[in-house]
Structure 1
Amino acid sequence: MTWRPPGSSESALHLRHKASEAWRSYKEFPQYALPDPPGFSEGYATFLALLKKNWQLL
């Protein structure tokens, strides 16, 4: 997972399962996406949940 994929100006959580895949918005993964608390960055709740599941931040 990453907050800003290369070439993007969007600062929001992006995910991919394999390094060979393109980065996609976390919203395209309904199985992982969680609602964010008001005032937090897009994807923050999902980011914390995935960290607990041993996902890596790149």
Structure 2
Amino acid sequence: MIRQMAWLPQDEGKEKILHLRIERGTPWRPYTMFPQFTIPDHMAIGSRGFSTFQKLLREGWEIIATENANQLSLLNDSEAA
């Protein structure tokens, strides 16, 4: 299992939320699709997923820059074709 996280736009919008990947070759998915890893956000303001981000960071998850995460997604798409 890989443990990667990235901040990516949600629904083509400007807001970025935490996305996770636990298997190579799979698309990024919003953190809310991984209830086994998430914790509730404790702030009314801020990015959605920030509490989970802090928890996973302490657990040693790898942070992938947004630009790199997008490139990984493109690579996965081309491998599938």
TM-score (ref. length: structure 1): 0.84
Which of residues 22, 30, 34 is equivalent to 1:25? 30
Tell me, in whole angstroms, the C-alpha distance in 1 between the residues paired with 2:8 and 2:47.
Answer: 12
1:16 aligns with 2:21: yes
Matches within 5 A, 1:39-58: 39-58=45-64
RMSD: 1.5
CA deviation after TM superposition for structure 1 residue 35, in Å = 1.1
Q: Which runs of 4+ in 1 moved over 6 A?
A: none
Aligned to 2:6: 2
Question: SS state of the match for residue 63, structure 2?
Answer: coil
The count of corresponding residues between Structure 1 and Structure 2 is 56
Q: Specify the structure having the higher radius of gyration (Cα).
A: 2
Give the Cα separation in 2 of the matches to 1:48 and 1:19. 22
Instruction: Give how far 1:18 is off.
Output: 2.2
Letter of the 1:14 partner, please give it: H
Task: Tell me the CA shift for residue 27 of structure 1.
Answer: 0.1
Q: Give 5+ residue unaligned stretches, structure 1.
A: none
Structure 2 unaligned blocks of 5 or more: 65-81
Structure number with the higher strand fraction is 2
Identity of aligned residues (%): 41
